[in-house]
A and B are shown apart, each in its own frame.
Chain A
């Protein structure tokens, strides 16, 4: 009997250039893996957007489009749990200093909503500064499929 592919753990790792094309690639790769794992359409949209926002942060704010810096993308699925890690090689920043995009004074800001959207769409979110420099985010989403 053929084993259901959803039950086979899957991990993919890539070192991506600091370009907007890499943002598209990362989103496509992650959504593809999540789709094979049986995530619902609405969850696929949320996962895709969360990965896109994380990659943009890494490429634009972390690595600043530096051609000599890479973004490490790791996507793994084990059972119903999808884990995405994205790490840049930038200088890092203090997460506590990020302004609240929902505060009245910040509502009409043209940027600063990325991390808020990631937190909103994923079940778990962690962001930390790496010892080697740069930032790493870990995004987790659980599917409801059995």
Chain B
């Protein structure tokens, strides 16, 4: 499988650990499904840990944006954790870095949810 997802709870925050490639096809659809499942279960605080993401394309970025919009429109918050240089650079050149709330430390990320 191109991407591996692991969902866990840290208090009332749902953390999705993402590893591998978020590209058009299996990778992006797996992320989409995981986020939709959490929203469907009325989870309002979602943290995407992208520390093990080795590759992301524009479709993967699209899924991050879609997830952000979906969670926000349902009254929740979606934040990003542990961006590597590649992902950070892509979000910066597409002007999305300031759209997301990005963290480098999980504990502080969890505390940041209101």
Give the interface of A toward B (CB within 8 A): 20, 23, 45, 49, 52-53, 56, 60, 101-102, 107-111, 113-114, 116-117, 120
Contacts and interface: CB of A to CB of B under 8 A. Distances in A.
B58 interface: yes
A124 to B, nearest CB: 18
A114 B23 CA distance: 12
Contacts, number: 45
Contacts of A52: 23, 57
Interface string B40-70: 0000000000000000011101110110110
Interface stretch (B75-83, B90-98, B101-109): B90-98
Interface of B: 23-25, 57-59, 61-63, 65-66, 68-69, 86, 90, 93-96, 99
Interface class of chain A by DSSP: helix
B90 to A, nearest CB: 7
